[in-house]
Structure 1
């Protein structure tokens, strides 16, 4: 497993075998987040597709340097921004994503090939033990990568793609699902996409249980697992008991 370190050349991160400078894997931060939090009152930055800086926990890093942190905040109030002393009038440049990818390409290829080997081995192990192999698609970055890797590994007739619509998704999630479906069905006409959805809109249960959260995770079983199981049973009416493998 690779470690992560800062890459000063690209303003991004590097995958490394080991490093005394290794860090907790950060997430990229885009201008929309900075606007939402109110960083535009202090910093100048372009509104571009590339990330502008990185976040670990509630701390923000620009070109490896800690520049700000946030505290508090909630549904009805913004968090308080704490700027480092010499970071009150920054002019941010976007991460050089192309350079970052080029510098990580060898290690990314290794990770890709290891993932493909794992998918092949797992499929061989379970293909005769289950009734359905499923790629569970959420519209997020992780499921996008999983779908791409599975599509490179297995024939399109050997699995299906299921998008579980919790009815709590934001519009870009639905847009991404439709674009993804169009893209892959153009390449693999035999690949089947399905949508699993609870018969009740989520807002009905919000009134009973409250909005789902990190602690109140009732939505996973009610709006993800159960709809998927009902869908697969409907696709296999001749089966009394359904065995599935979900990636």
Structure 2
């Protein structure tokens, strides 16, 4: 090459297309992650708000009678009104608590919300009959809704140990007996005692208390004042069970 050779023209540098593609992708990824993070934050806030709401209700109803629940609201709308009247557990005959526990949850004083023995037996039989404790039923009645759904069962399972932690066994049984359905539109033992027998809850005989407990699993189709043969047999079994739990100490947690 001689000095007379003209200088070659420098071409502008062009970045490879593949690198340009990577650069543009890198701009999208942070925005995508930020969007996901915002979604997770809002979902967390919503779930946290729901948990805080129910926690506040649990603490409030530990000392204040629950005014009404979703099922009662629905029945009041359907029937045009319901019967209910709150009474403290001290205003109930002791036979009521013993009968309800003997009928629905004989190990009420021994578990922390779930009767694992009953659950194992129900699973082995392929049924959930008899596995739901009084604590679980109370949580469902007061805080949740009726009907079968995985969401309700999950919420019930999460809330029951919390209620057991902050409420006494006596309070759980007291609320349960005041919100349970004993007949169409009849809620709580005071309304049931007046409706079926014309007396207050404190004046029920052991047989009358056992009859009320006998209708609890199926209040729409059982009548405490006009018992069927099945309800009579069930009543006799409940009276015997109530005597047993009083004798062996399984009623001590709510009779202190």
TM-score past 0.5 threshold = no
More strand by share: 1
User: Which has the larger helix fraction?
Assistant: 2
Normalised TM-score (structure 2): 0.21
TM-score by length of 1: 0.22
Q: Which one scores higher on RCO, CA 8 angstroms, separation ≥ 6?
A: 2
- The structure that has the greater radius of gyration is 2
